[in-house]
Amino acid sequence: MPDKPTILFLQIIHSGFEPFDYATFGLKRNFDLLPHKYAVLTLVAWIREHGCEGFYTFIDPTDPNGVDKISASIDKIKPDALGFSLCSDEIRDNYMLIEKIKARHPDIPIIVGGRHVTALPEHSLKNFPLIDFIGIGEGERTLEEFLKVLKAGGGSDEYRKIDGLGFRDENGNVVITSPRQPIEDINTLPDPAYDLLIDSDNPPGERSGFPLVCSYGCYFHCTFCGAEHGHYRFINPEKVVDRIERAKQKYGIDYFAMRDSFWPPSIKWMEEFCDILEKRDLEIEFQFLTRVRTLTRSHLLRLKKLGVRTMMLGVEAGDPEILKAIKKQITIEQARESFDILNEIGIYTVSFFMVGNQGENLETVKTSIKVANELNASIAYFSHLAPFPGSEVYDLVKDEDKEWWRVGAARPSVCDLTSEELDHLATEAFLRYPLRWRWFRQHVLFGHLPAAYRKVAWKYYRVHLRKYLLGIAERVPFFRGLIKMVKKVAGK
Ligand code: B12
Ligand code: SF4
């Protein structure tokens, strides 16, 4: 057993990314770090600074030796606890993994945190008996206190004193402790533990995007979102640039993916950030998720000069009434203005659209597709609305469908279109999006994107064209048979 209270975080990472996945997020190289959780990096950094130790192992679910790999890590590290950070749609797969691990290591307690268990604490402990503890809300101090109590011998009375914790007592009753108060000054958070993602077998590759978070919370209330609303705080711009500089010096990281609810925290914040970045001349590139109407032309020109190559913007719907219903607090005119400027400046953009919002019908979906085409982002990502626990829209899901994420069922519809219709519409819209002359001219042939990003766009185009044509061919029985045969021969 190690001296310090120690946790080993585990995660399932699907390695089978297709080219359009990384093209979607605007990287020239496979976005191999995309699925790793920022939460793990920040939690481990925090506990290390407070007398504990943390490690991280991930496996590909298709790897037949995956569980052996985890077991070997457990035998080597001898952690006091195993940790998971999970969204709702990850619970099912990860719980299957937990069953396998518990069969081999029954005495190591398992703690799960993240937005899912925060939204459904009692449900999680009642329905997933192999999960011993849950961390509700912000986890830094909860995890630290939990590990220290565990190492000291545990006991329900001691666990009851830890805010933001859920567990079953000696009689099997679920106990949820008082809410964990958020960390007021998040400038006190240490640098993320990037070393968990980098070792000699896995050095930072050219164009690996490393996650970085500059703020906690969110002050918007989009109805489809299960994020923590309220308690918005940010790290001072100088501290963020310090972190970037240290990450570059220590690990050679030069591409950052901002994982804030939205970036930048404010215009004043961004101007200070740009001033400091400019002075230090760090030569980094970065990408971020933002809201339309936030940044003006001159802001964007400056950001491009400082290394911004990709921006992702959630538009979600093309119909003004739907935008109101989902409380997006943007207008189509603002979206148009933002994308016109971005296309003119030559920043690779992703526009996010959802189909199946409350009030949606075939006409409103068609309007979204039309608006997406007009905005003409480098990528338009259409997804079928997933009503996850913790979001306002989850209340609209019928009781009998509420556990869709648990049983592996299709995403339930909260509008007049059926789930199958929505899946079909989203897939078709996503595939067909780049197959237009206006898009091709803007993002591949001419336009203002840097050459490397035109290449990304070209790859994205080819993948979509191939998939689209295959889809059409598969509708004809003769070609369907032929494709099946070719796939069989190719072992796919
Ligand atoms: C950046 C982001 C992404 C990125 C990166 C995802 C990643 N792998 O990290 C991208 C764009 C790829 C993405 C994809 C998806 N995302 Co996302 N994403 C976010 C976002 C904006 C920020 C997440 C983040 O890193 N925050 C910063 C960290 C520090 O906060 P945190 O994760 O909440 O962690 C804190 C606590 O929760 C807690 N904690 C977390 N884990 C643990 C573990 C333990 C043991 C303990 C004690 C505590 C603890 O402590 C942490 C520090 O205080 C949030 C919205 C938001 N503002 O929270 C949505 C969010 C997390 N995403 C969500 C969803 C649904 C998805 C997708 C499923 C979308 C989809 N349909 O495909 C995929 C799933 C991808 C995956 N497998 O991870 C939902 C989750 C809702 C839910 N009920 O689970 C959120 C809340 C947004 C929403 N639409 O509702 N996402
Ligand atoms: S979708 Fe983004 S802006 Fe809207 S509430 Fe969620 S995190 Fe905030």
95-136 pLDDT, tens per residue? 999 999 999 999 999 999 999 999 999 999 999 999 999 999
Cα separation, 249 vs 237, in Å, equals 18
List the one residue out of 214, 261, 209 whose CA is nearest residue 26: 209
Does the pLDDT value for residue 200 go beyond 90?
no
Work out the burial of residue 304: count CB atoms within 10 Å of its CB; fewer than 13 is exposed, 13-18 middle, 19 or more buried.
middle
**Is 132 part of any domain?**
yes
Q: Which residues face 59 on adjacent strands?
A: 12
pLDDT for res 209: 75
Does the pLDDT value for residue 30 go beyond 60?
no
**Is 150 part of any domain?**
yes
Buried b / exposed e across 251-267, counting CB within 10 Å, b at 16+? Answer: eebbbbbbbbbbbbbee
Q: Which residues face 316 on adjacent strands?
A: 353
Tell me: do 142 and 240 sit in the same domain.
no
253-292 pLDDT, tens per residue? 888 989 999 999 999 999 999 999 999 989 899 999 999 9
Ligand 2 atom with least separation from CA of 219 = 8
Query: What is the pLDDT confidence band of residue 485, given thresholds at 50, 70 and 90?
Result: confident
Mutate to test the pocket of ligand 1, among 56, 84, 87 (most ligand atoms within 8 A of CB): 87
What tokens appear for 196 in the block?
């968990």
**Ligand 2 centre and the CA of 201: distance in Å?**
36
> Into how many domains does the chain fold?
2
With contact defined as beta carbons under 8 Å apart, do 411 and 384 qualify?
Answer: yes
Whose C-alpha lies nearest to ligand 2, atom 2?
261
448-474 pLDDT, tens per residue? 999 988 988 998 898 889 888 888 877
Given phi > 0 = left and psi -120 to 50 = alpha, else beta, which region is 149? Answer: alpha
CB of 352 sitting under 6 A from ligand 2: no
**Ligand 1 centre and the CA of 115: distance in Å?**
7
Query: What is the pLDDT confidence band of residue 492, given thresholds at 50, 70 and 90?
Result: low
Tell me: do 241 and 120 sit in the same domain.
no
With contact defined as beta carbons under 8 Å apart, do 164 and 212 qualify?
Answer: no
Tell me: do 116 and 234 sit in the same domain.
no
**Is 204 part of any domain?**
no
**Ligand 2 centre and the CA of 391: distance in Å?**
10
Query: What is the pLDDT confidence band of residue 84, given thresholds at 50, 70 and 90?
Result: very high
Tell me: do 33 and 116 sit in the same domain.
yes
Task: Sort strands 133-135 and 379-384 into parallel, antiparallel or unpaired.
Answer: unpaired
Q: Which of 407, 433, 459 is the last residue of a domain?
A: 433
**In the sheet that 165-168 helps form, which strands lie side by side, from edge to edge?**
53-59, 6-12, 81-85, 110-113, 133-135, 165-168, 174-176
**Is 376 part of any domain?**
yes
**Ligand 1 centre and the CA of 380: distance in Å?**
21
CB of 85 sitting under 6 A from ligand 1: yes
Cα separation, 253 vs 232, in Å, equals 28
Query: What is the pLDDT confidence band of residue 31, given thresholds at 50, 70 and 90?
Result: very low
pLDDT for res 466: 87
Tell me: do 425 and 289 sit in the same domain.
yes
148-170 pLDDT, tens per residue? 999 999 999 999 999 999 999 99
Query: What is the pLDDT confidence band of residue 479, given thresholds at 50, 70 and 90?
Result: confident
Q: What CATH number does the domain containing 18 carry? A: 3.40.50.280
Does the pLDDT value for residue 210 go beyond 90?
no
Tell me: do 20 and 80 sit in the same domain.
yes
Tell me: do 339 and 428 sit in the same domain.
yes
Q: What is the pTM of this model?
A: 0.94
Tell me: do 317 and 222 sit in the same domain.
yes
Tell me: do 296 and 370 sit in the same domain.
yes
Whose C-alpha lies nearest to ligand 1, atom 79?
226
Does the pLDDT value for residue 201 go beyond 90?
no
Tell me: do 132 and 236 sit in the same domain.
no
Expressed as residue numbers, the domain containing 343 is 209-433
Which string of DSSP letters, residue by residue, matches 342-363? HHHHT-EEEEEEEE--TT--HH
**Ligand 1 centre and the CA of 87: distance in Å?**
6
Q: How many CA atoms lie within 13 A of 235 on its CB side?
A: 21
**Is 277 part of any domain?**
yes
CB of 261 sitting under 6 A from ligand 2: yes
CB of 282 sitting under 6 A from ligand 1: no
Helix or strand holding residue 285 (H, E): strand 285-290
Q: Write the CB contacts of 348 (distance below 8 Å, at least 6 apart in sequence).
A: 26, 309, 310, 311, 378, 449, 453, 456, 457
pLDDT for res 254: 87
Query: What is the pLDDT confidence band of residue 199, given thresholds at 50, 70 and 90?
Result: low
CB of 89 sitting under 6 A from ligand 1: yes
Mutate to test the pocket of ligand 2, among 38, 218, 263 (most ligand atoms within 8 A of CB): 218
Q: What CATH number does the domain containing 372 carry? A: 3.20.20.70
With contact defined as beta carbons under 8 Å apart, do 36 and 211 qualify?
Answer: yes
**Is 491 part of any domain?**
no
DSSP H helical ranges for 281-435 = 297-305, 320-325, 332-345, 362-375, 404-407, 419-432
Whose C-alpha lies nearest to ligand 1, atom 76?
35
Tell me: do 169 and 213 sit in the same domain.
no
Ligand nearest to the CA of residue 314, numbered in listed order: 2
Q: Which of 433, 462, 480 is the last residue of a domain?
A: 433
**Ligand 1 centre and the CA of 187: distance in Å?**
21
Mutate to test the pocket of ligand 2, among 220, 229, 327 (most ligand atoms within 8 A of CB): 220
Q: Which of 385, 413, 433 is the last residue of a domain?
A: 433
Cα 15-309-433 angle, rounded to 5 deg: 65
**Is 107 part of any domain?**
yes
Average pLDDT, the chain: 91
**Is 162 part of any domain?**
yes
Tell me: do 232 and 149 sit in the same domain.
no
